[in-house]
Amino acid sequence: YLSILIPYFIKNDNMPVQESFTLSDNEVSWLLSMAALVKPVSGLLAGLVMDHFGRLNTLRLGIIPWSIGWIIIAEASNFPMLMAGYIISLLPHSWFVISLLAYISEISSPSVRSVLLNFKSVFWGLGSMAPFLLGALLHWRTVAWINCLLPVIPGVATLFLKESVLWLVTKGRVNDAKKSLAYFNRYRKLSKDEDLEGVIERKLLSVQTLHEEYRSSNRSLLHKMKFFFQPSGYIRIFMLAGLECFNEVTGSSVVFANIIVFFTEFGTTINPYGIGIYIGVTKLATSFFNAWLLKTFKFRSILMANYVTVSGCLLAWGLYLEYNTKGT
């Protein structure tokens, strides 16, 4: 969204200018940095909210701050309002992502789980393309109102779903867990020797056994924290943190947020919003390509190739801009 918002506050002959209020370069910088500051807090809150209220309720609760934030953005008349709305809208970001991934992992069959989880990347590709498409046609305030209303559809859809069986068992709601199992297995093809009630009882017993094993091995917070001091714990944390740090240090997120301004000032004859749409389409195509890669190659090889490619592309782009500025 910042990709289509920031151009309104940058003085350029080829771009519309926001007349009601202005943003300084420092304020724009704060907007660009806020996602990196808020998302870690959002992630911590996501785990607490999801464990207490459930996966589906976390999705529903996240709609409230999301909509409030976008309403504030749409009605913003100064930088503090814009910043406040942006922060509030960012808070439920991890709630949506983490609770959705947990829900899919817990309710889906192993045979389709990877496919369903990969849809996250598909919708991220669509989400990357949509702001540029809307921004080319609509004012940033109108786009903010659209963002405010978007979660209503998935929010209503969750009303027709059942909660995760695993979460229900952890909360001692066995009867609700049975109903949830019956819901998710209602189209299951049964053999002649099987009956749905028996299948539900076996699955419920399996989930309860898994939960009891987890409880017996994690009796205290101190015991849980010991995992992070073992090689299997801290190596994973450092690996994920390092990859995320590398991703942010490359500046790709900042570049993407300024993509309209960059190509406008660069003097290209192509519509900058069209370039953003092309990038979104590329992300969408890449998400489908990733599904094939994950089935064909090892994850570690894909990860290494990905970051080598990203580094090479950013280096080539930087060198091109450097020499182009000098007129060579």
Mean of pLDDT values over 105-134 = 78
Place of tokens 């500051």: 37
Q: What are the residues whose beta carbons fall under 8 Å from the beta carbon of 240, sequence distance 6 or more? A: none
pLDDT level of residue 268 (50, 70, 90 thresholds) = low
Mean of pLDDT values over 91-111 = 85
- Asked whether residue 10 carries a pLDDT value surpassing 60, the answer given is yes
**pLDDT attached to residue 69:** 94
For residue 130, the tally of other CB atoms under 10 A from its CB is: 19
> Would you say the pTM of this structure is higher than 0.85?
no
Token pair listed for 326: 């000098």
Better pLDDT: 97 or 187: 97
**pLDDT attached to residue 117:** 76
For the segment(s) 1-161, the CATH number from 3.30.70.120, 1.20.1250.20, 1.10.287.70, 2.40.10.10 is 1.20.1250.20
The answer to whether residues 153 and 141 touch, using CB atoms and an 8 Å cutoff, is no
**pLDDT attached to residue 44:** 83
- What distance in Å separates the CA atoms of residue 215 and residue 224, rounded to the nearest whole number? 11
pLDDT level of residue 252 (50, 70, 90 thresholds) = low
The answer to whether residues 17 and 68 touch, using CB atoms and an 8 Å cutoff, is no
- What distance in Å separates the CA atoms of residue 128 and residue 236, rounded to the nearest whole number? 28
**pLDDT attached to residue 328:** 47
- Asked whether residue 72 carries a pLDDT value surpassing 90, the answer given is yes
Better pLDDT: 51 or 274: 51
Q: Any idea where the domains of the chain sit in the sequence?
A: 1-161, 162-218
- Asked whether residue 68 carries a pLDDT value surpassing 90, the answer given is yes
Token pair listed for 285: 């195509």
For residue 46, the tally of other CB atoms under 10 A from its CB is: 23
